[in-house]
Amino acid sequence: MRKQHIKSHPVAGLYVENQSWLRGWLYRKVGCTHLAADLVQDTFERLLKRESYGDVEKSGAYLKTTARNLVIDHWRRKALEAAYMEALHIQGETYHPSPEEQHMHLDLLNRIDQVVQRLPVQTRQVFLRVQLEGWGYAKVAESLGISVSTVKRHLKTALLECCFYCE
């Protein structure tokens, strides 16, 4: 009974028809068969989480776009991980978190990155200049051609988004 249900699911046919070419396409992007296979599964998982399938059943374009976004997310996470590990290396023996703490830190950094990527451009610029570059409000305001109160408003928006999303 369960097998029949799986075969009749609208995504099942799409999976059978597209997973092979999608895996090959992803392999050419990432250079690893295991990662490509994982990304294929993640692509179809995202499709399954949609409330409706609409025209997606007939088009590989959605699959390719979703897979491309997953590849971008993968490389962004790798870059964050490399930067984090470099920062730990610079700290030397003064601070050495456990593997569990490192995992928690990386997870939080990834969630913050996701929030920051979704922020409006000017809000993102304010947040990054204040938080990462250490700029003062006046310098940020001057560089963006906005008022200090607007800088504060953008920063408040960004920080609230980070707090709500990362809880």
Residue 29 has pLDDT above 90, yes or no: yes
Question: In this predicted structure, what is the pLDDT of residue 58?
Answer: 60
Question: In this predicted structure, what is the pLDDT of residue 4?
Answer: 47
Q: At 84, list the tokens.
A: 């984090």
Q: How confident is the model at residue 1 (pLDDT cuts 50, 70, 90)?
A: very low
Q: What is the mean pLDDT of residues 42-58?
A: 77
How does pLDDT run across 117-147, given as a tens digit for each residue?
A: 999 999 999 999 999 899 999 999 999 999 9
Q: At 97, list the tokens.
A: 């978190």
Question: In this predicted structure, what is the pLDDT of residue 37?
Answer: 96
**Could you tell me the CA-to-CA distances from 1 to 5, 6, 48, 55 in Å, in that order?**
7, 9, 20, 27
- Any idea which residue has 């409000």 for tokens? 137
Greatest mean pLDDT range, 10-14, 92-96, 99-103: 99-103
Question: In this predicted structure, what is the pLDDT of residue 55?
Answer: 65
Q: Residue 76 burial (CB < 10 Å; 0-12/13-18/19+)?
A: middle
Q: How confident is the model at residue 95 (pLDDT cuts 50, 70, 90)?
A: confident
Residue 2 has pLDDT above 80, yes or no: no
Nearest alpha carbon to residue 71 among 110, 109, 29, 37: 29
Concatenated DSSP letters of 57-99? GG-SHHHHHHHHHHHHHHHHHHHHHHHHHHHHHHHGGG----H
Q: At 102, list the tokens.
A: 């490192």
Question: In this predicted structure, what is the pLDDT of residue 60?
Answer: 79
Residue 53 has pLDDT above 70, yes or no: no
